[in-house]
Structure 1
Amino acid sequence: MYFPGWRRFWWRYIAGPGAVVVFVALIVLTIPALSAHSGHGRRGHWTATNILCSRSGCNEVGTYSSADGSDTRTRISMFASPNLEIGQAVPAVDTGGDEVYPPGGGDAWWHDLVGVIAAGGTCAGWLWTFPVRVLRQRRRKPRDAVVS
């Protein structure tokens, strides 16, 4: 199971590219959360219609209806859903993402932003230690051969 250079291989080809994928995914998740936090999106009500439970806990799934009644989305969850009984409704904001948010966006944007910063730092470290360094070393080698 052990081979020389496994740490370098892990960093170059698994951890670094994985951090890039996570960084992009977190940016995609952060956009609707920041939009809800800044007050954008359609206001309406979210009604709990089903409670799904697993080993990690329970999550309410419901229906979102805009205030003017023009938009209805079913089988959608609410970020940090308040423990509701089936049929209860709470105010919500829809920004077009996979979830609806409480008015003001809740703290979803904060969680996502911390993740974006952490993944971005990892991506920057990977870019500096692998692609940039390798390209710089490849550019130096021909010059060094000519000087000798």
Structure 2
Amino acid sequence: MKHLLLIASLLLTFGFTNAQSTVSTIDKYGYNKTPFMLIEGDIVYNIDKYGYNKVSVAQIEGGKIHRVDKHGYNKRLFMIVEGGNIYNVDKYGYNKQAIATIEGGKIYTTDKYGYNKTAIAMVERGVIFTTDKYGYNKVSIAIIEGGYSQAELAFILTRVGLL
């Protein structure tokens, strides 16, 4: 039994799962869901409002986010997530500039050095809310159905126009 648990934990650790998450826009009351993104494993797809016609747009490997062409090739690194901090980078992974930080479900924009935080959004139970600069006055804009990592959340925030 211990061996099965070890094998299962190793498979989950190294990404051999068929995890799938759907991201949908919602109105300010939390209704009228319209799916626009699908995350399968480490590939992110744009989808139509019915959930079909997948077109790959990104690949997420650990904390590194790569833009890809519509076939999933020609990877170009553009964002890194390390320890809750989100950085824009050049295609080689250098010249990091902080753009945001994730702290306990709240997302703050920062200056390029990681200071001067201003709240822009928060995530509660998979629902993404925009907030005022103090973290209050929530308005729902999207929902994530399924699990997500910090790197996936960073890319989702980019796609909904918050980063």
Of the two, which has the highest radius of gyration? 1
Choose between structure 1 and 2 for higher RCO, CA contacts under 8 A separated by at least 6 residues. Answer: 1
TM-score computed with the length of structure 2 as normaliser = 0.20
Name the one with the larger strand percent: 2
Name the one with the larger helix percent: 1
TM-score computed with the length of structure 1 as normaliser = 0.22
